[in-house]
Amino acid sequence: MQRRKFLRNAGVGTAAVATTGLVAAPAIAQSAPEINWRMTSSFPKSLDTLYGGAERIAKIVAEATDNKFQIRTFAAGEIVPGLQVVDAVQNGTVEMGHTASYYFFGKDPTFALGTVVPFGLNTRQMNAWVTQGGGEQLLNDFYKNYNIYGIVCGNTTAQMGGWFRKEINTVEDLKGLKMRIAGLAGDVMSKLGVIPQQLAGGDIYPALEKGTVDAAEWVGPYDDQKLGFAKIAPNYYYPGWWEGNAAFHVFIGLDKWNALPKNYQAILRAACADTNNWTAAKYDADNPKALRVLIASGAKLLPFSQPIMEAAFKATNEVYAEITAKNANFKKVFDSMMAFRKDEVLWFRVAENTFDNFMARQSAAGKL
Amino acid sequence: MQRRKFLRNAGVGTAAVATTGLVAAPAIAQSAPEINWRMTSSFPKSLDTLYGGAERIAKIVAEATDNKFQIRTFAAGEIVPGLQVVDAVQNGTVEMGHTASYYFFGKDPTFALGTVVPFGLNTRQMNAWVTQGGGEQLLNDFYKNYNIYGIVCGNTTAQMGGWFRKEINTVEDLKGLKMRIAGLAGDVMSKLGVIPQQLAGGDIYPALEKGTVDAAEWVGPYDDQKLGFAKIAPNYYYPGWWEGNAAFHVFIGLDKWNALPKNYQAILRAACADTNNWTAAKYDADNPKALRVLIASGAKLLPFSQPIMEAAFKATNEVYAEITAKNANFKKVFDSMMAFRKDEVLWFRVAENTFDNFMARQSAAGKL
C-alpha cells in the first residue's frame, strides 16, 4: 500500500508545490517540497526487526511530512547486494542506505567503530557516546571520506556468542575450530586459534550440518530462532563479547543530506532516534520468548568460561594495539570510545549493575 | 531567542496559511497550520536534563514544522506549581505538560506505574514494555480518565538510594529514620520503620543540615551534585531500588491531541522518542563525572546491605498486594508490567548482565 501510494503521488505533487510556491506561499513551498528517495538495506525482509527498522523510518518520515518526503525501502539484493550499501550511497545509485557500519570493515577498520567492537560499549553506553560523547561527530568526520552522512537508527542489544557443535570448555578447545564470524571479532578469534569463516546467513545451516564449520554466531534468540541451529549445533554460548551492542546506521549521500530542507533533516533525524529506541525495545521484548522456544527445541544454554573470556579480552587488546599503531582514523575514534567506556563502566558498577544483579538473583530464586 | 521568534511569528502566520489554503494549496494548509501551545514542566530550569528535555521536544517540533508548530516551555511555578501539571492539562490551562506521572500517585497509585515502581523495570525494560509490551496503551487507557494523552519522553536511568547522615548497616538502623522520600517508595519505607517526609527540592538541604530529616533521596550524581548534600549527609547509598528507572511523560489534553493534524502527531511523537534517547544518554554521560566530583568532595559510596535489599523487596510485595486488592486500575497495569518484568530479567541474566558484569570486573581490576 505504501508503494502504491508512492506511485500515485510521484510526479504530481512536485508541480502543485511549485505552483503554490511561485504564486502564493514561498516559505511553505521551500520547506515542504516533494522528495522521493530510495533506501537500500543490508538486510532481508525476513529479519523483521532489522529490515523493519528501515520501514519504520520511512513510515515516520512520510507521516510527519504528510507524504511529501517519501522513502522507498529495498531489501538486500533488490537494488544492490546487502554488503554494497556504502558503494551504492557513495556513487549515488541510491540516496540512502540502511546497514551496519562494521560490514565495511574491509575498506577501513574504522567502520567497525560505528557498530561495535569486541569488549566495547553496551547499548546505553553506545547511545551516550554517540549523542553526548562526541561519537556522532567523530564517526561523521570519518564517513565524510566516503561522501556519506550517518545517523544511528537501531541496536540489536547484547548478542549471543553463537552455536557450537561441541562444548567449548577451555581456551584449548577453540584451537582449530572453524567458526562463522567476521570482522574484528574474527581477527581476535584467530589469535585464539579459531579459523574464522565468512558465510552469508543462508549458507550457515548446511555448513554447520555437514561440519564444514564447527560453530557460527548470528544475532540473538529472536533472529537465531529462524535459522534452526539448535538441532545441529545445540551448544548456545553467551555472551557475544564481540557484540555488547550492535548499532545500525542510515547512510545518506553527503550532498543529498546537505541539500535536504532543515525541517526534513530534523524529521529524518527524529525518525532515526525513534527507531533506535524501537529496535532495541523490540529485541528486548522478543528475545525472552524466542529463548524459551529455543531451549524447548534442544538448545543448551552455556556461558563462556572465565578463562576463555579473559583470553579473548587479552587477544582483543593485542588486536587494538596493532590497528591503532598503523591506522590514525581508527585510533582517533577508538581512543574517544575507550575513554568513554572507562567512565561508563565505572558508573554502571554503582546503581545500574547493582539493581540489575539484585533483580537477577530474585529471578534465579523464582521470586519474580 | 526561541521566545522572541515565537512572539514575532504569533498571529501573523495563521493568516498567511489561511490565505494560501483558500487560494492555491488546500492540502498544505490543512497539514501545516500555525499552532502555538504552552507546555508547563514539573521541573525547575536548574535541572537541565529534566527541564532540558521539555526544551528539546519543543525545539525538534519547531524545526520539523519550519516553526509552524511552536511549543513554549515553562518551568515549574511560571504558570502553575510543578505538582499541578495534571490539573493544568486536564482543565485546559495549558495544552500540555512535562512531568513524572508518579507525582500524581495521590490521585490514584496507578499514576506511579507511568514512571517506575519499587523493584520494577530498568530503563531498557521500561522502553520495551511501553512500546512493545502494551504499556503505552494500558497507561493511556488510564490517563483517559483525566482527559490526558501521555507520551514517554525521557528517563533518569537507575537512581541512587540517597544521602544519609549516619551509616545504615542493618534493617534495624532504618527504624525511626526520618527520610525525604515520596509515593509508593514511602509506603514501602514505612513498613521498614522509616518515617517518610515530603519535601520540595529546595527545602531538603536545610532540613538535612538541622537534622529535621536524617536522609533524603533525590536522583543520581549529576542532579544531586547541585544540592550539596555531601557535606552534611555524606553516606551515599546505592541502588535506589525504588527507581530502577524513572520515565518522564508529556501529558497532552486529550481533545488537543485528537485535534492535532496527523503529521504533527507523528512529529511530536518522534520528538518525544528522540528526547527519551537523549535524556538517558545525557544522564549516562554526565553521571560518572559528577560521581567523581562528589567523591572528591567527601561523599562516601556505600551499597545497601543484602538484608536491607531483601527486607525492602518483601515489604514492596506486601504494598503491591494491598494496592492490587483494592484498586482495579492499578492491578490491570501492574499485572502487565510484572509479567513483562519476569521475562525481561530472565533474558537479561543471559547475554546482557554477563557482558556487563565481565566489563565491571575488568574495571575493578583497572584494566579498562
pLDDT tens across A312-343, in order? 999 999 999 999 999 999 999 999 999 999 99
Q: Do A229 and A205 form a contact (C-beta atoms < 8 A)?
A: yes
Confidence of residue A202 (pLDDT cuts 50, 70, 90): confident
User: CB neighbours of B323 closer than 8 A, spacing ≥ 6?
Assistant: B109, B330, B331, B334
Q: What is the ipTM of this complex?
A: 0.92
The verdict on whether residue B243 carries a ligand-binding annotation is yes
Q: Quick one: average pLDDT of B268-274? A: 98
Burial A199-225 (b: 16+ CB within 10 A, else e): bebeebbebbeeeebbbbbbbbbbbbb
Residue-level pLDDT at B16: 35
Task: Determine which of A34, A155, A317, A356 to mutate to test the interface with B (most B C-beta atoms within 10 Å).
Answer: A356
Counting the structural domains of chain B, the total is: 1
Task: Determine which of B12, B60, B274 to mutate to test the interface with A (most A C-beta atoms within 10 Å).
Answer: B274
Q: Which of B160, B351, B356 lies at the smallest CB-CB distance from A220? A: B351
Poorest-confidence range of A27-31, A121-125, A358-362, B364-368? A27-31
Confidence of residue B202 (pLDDT cuts 50, 70, 90): confident
Amino acid at B348: F
Alpha carbons A309 and A324: distance in angstroms, whole number? 22
Amino acid at A22: L
Q: Which residue has the cell 574484528?
A: A184
| A148 belongs to a structural domain | yes
Average pLDDT, chain B: 92
Written as nine digits, the cell of B169 is: 548497616
Confidence of residue A367 (pLDDT cuts 50, 70, 90): very high
Query: Using CB atoms within 10 A of its CB, is residue A175 exposed (0-12), middle (13-18) or buried (19+)?
Result: exposed
Alpha carbons B261 and A64: distance in angstroms, whole number? 10
DSSP reduced 3-state for A150: strand
Q: Do A37 and A96 form a contact (C-beta atoms < 8 A)?
A: yes
Residue-level pLDDT at B17: 35
- Asked if A359 lies within 8 A of B122 by C-beta distance, the reply is yes
The C-alpha of B81 sits at a distance from chain A's nearest C-alpha, in angstroms, of: 30
- Asked if B348 lies within 8 A of A360 by C-beta distance, the reply is yes
| A80 belongs to a structural domain | yes
How many residues in total does chain B contain?
368
Poorest-confidence range of A148-162, A196-210, B285-299? A196-210
**Interface subset of A 86-145, CB within 8 angstroms of B:** 119, 122-125, 127-133
Confidence of residue A31 (pLDDT cuts 50, 70, 90): low
Helix (H) or strand (E) holding A209: helix A201-210
Comparing C-alpha atoms, which of A136, A2, A9, A127 is closest to residue A72? A2
CA distances from A168 to B23, B143, B355 (A): 74, 52, 18
> Does the N-terminal peptide bond of residue A44 adopt cis geometry, omega within 30 degrees of 0?
no
- Other beta carbons within 10 Å of B231: 12
Ordered alpha helix ranges (H), chain B: 2-9, 12-23, 26-31, 50-64, 85-90, 123-132, 135-143, 183-191, 201-210, 221-224, 254-259, 262-296, 306-326, 328-348, 351-364
**Interface subset of B 294-323, CB within 8 angstroms of A:** 301, 303, 309, 313
Comparing C-alpha atoms, which of A50, A71, A51 is closest to residue A5? A71
Q: What is the pLDDT of residues B51-107, one digit of tens each?
A: 999 999 999 999 999 999 999 999 999 999 999 999 999 999 999 999 999 999 999
Alpha carbons A306 and A311: distance in angstroms, whole number? 8
Give the CATH number of the domain where residue B50 resides: 3.40.190.170
Sign of CA dihedral B234, B237, B240, B241: negative
pLDDT beyond 50 at B9: no
| DSSP state letter for A121 | -
Q: What is the pLDDT of residues B137-194, one digit of tens each?
A: 999 999 999 999 999 999 999 999 999 999 999 999 999 999 999 889 999 999 999 9
Q: Quick one: average pLDDT of A146-159? A: 98
- Residues of B with Cβ-Cβ distance to A266 under 8 angstroms: 60, 63-64
- Asked if A131 lies within 8 A of B313 by C-beta distance, the reply is no
Q: Which residue has the cell 518520515?
A: A61
Residue-level pLDDT at B3: 37
Q: What is the pLDDT of residues A34-92, one digit of tens each?
A: 999 999 999 999 999 999 999 999 999 999 999 999 999 999 999 999 999 999 999 99
- Asked if A342 lies within 8 A of B368 by C-beta distance, the reply is yes
Confidence of residue B39 (pLDDT cuts 50, 70, 90): very high
DSSP reduced 3-state for A353: helix
Question: How much of chain B, in percent, has pLDDT values that exceed 90?
Answer: 88
Amino acid at B48: D
| B262 belongs to a structural domain | yes
Confidence of residue A30 (pLDDT cuts 50, 70, 90): low
Alpha carbons B264 and A132: distance in angstroms, whole number? 27
Whether chain A has a CB inside 8 Å of the CB on B60: the answer is yes
Q: What is the pLDDT of residues A92-135, one digit of tens each?
A: 999 999 999 999 999 999 999 999 999 999 999 999 999 999 99
Report pTM: 0.92
Alpha carbons B190 and A104: distance in angstroms, whole number? 57
Average pLDDT, chain A: 92
- Residues of B with Cβ-Cβ distance to A360 under 8 angstroms: 345, 348-349, 353
Confidence of residue A8 (pLDDT cuts 50, 70, 90): very low
Residue-level pLDDT at A272: 98
| B92 belongs to a structural domain | yes
Known binding residues of A for substrate are 159, 180, 217, 243
Query: Using CB atoms within 10 A of its CB, is residue A294 exposed (0-12), middle (13-18) or buried (19+)?
Result: buried
- Residues of A with Cβ-Cβ distance to B274 under 8 angstroms: 269-270, 273-274
Task: List the domain range (segments joined by +) for residue B44.
Answer: 31-155+245-284
| B38 belongs to a structural domain | yes
Q: How many CA atoms lie within 13 A of A193 on its CB side?
A: 11
pLDDT beyond 90 at A200: no
Confidence of residue B200 (pLDDT cuts 50, 70, 90): confident
Per DSSP, the residues of A232-277 read TS-EEEE--TT-S--EEEEEEEHHHHHHS-HHHHHHHHHHHHHHHH
- Residues of B with Cβ-Cβ distance to A350 under 8 angstroms: 160, 238-239, 291, 301
| B271 belongs to a structural domain | yes
Q: What is the pLDDT of residues A245-255, one digit of tens each?
A: 999 999 999 99
Whether chain A has a CB inside 8 Å of the CB on B360: the answer is yes
pLDDT beyond 90 at B264: yes
Distinct helix (H) and strand (E) counts, chain A = 15, 11
Written as nine digits, the cell of A178 is: 572453524
Residue-level pLDDT at B30: 57
Backbone angles phi and psi of A353, in degrees to 5 = -65, -35
User: CB neighbours of A292 closer than 8 A, spacing ≥ 6?
Assistant: none
- Residues of A with Cβ-Cβ distance to B280 under 8 angstroms: 124, 127-128
Alpha carbons B267 and B104: distance in angstroms, whole number? 27
pLDDT beyond 60 at A3: no
| B120 belongs to a structural domain | yes
| B343 belongs to a structural domain | no
Q: What is the pLDDT of residues A224-265, one digit of tens each?
A: 999 899 999 999 999 999 999 999 999 999 999 999 999 999
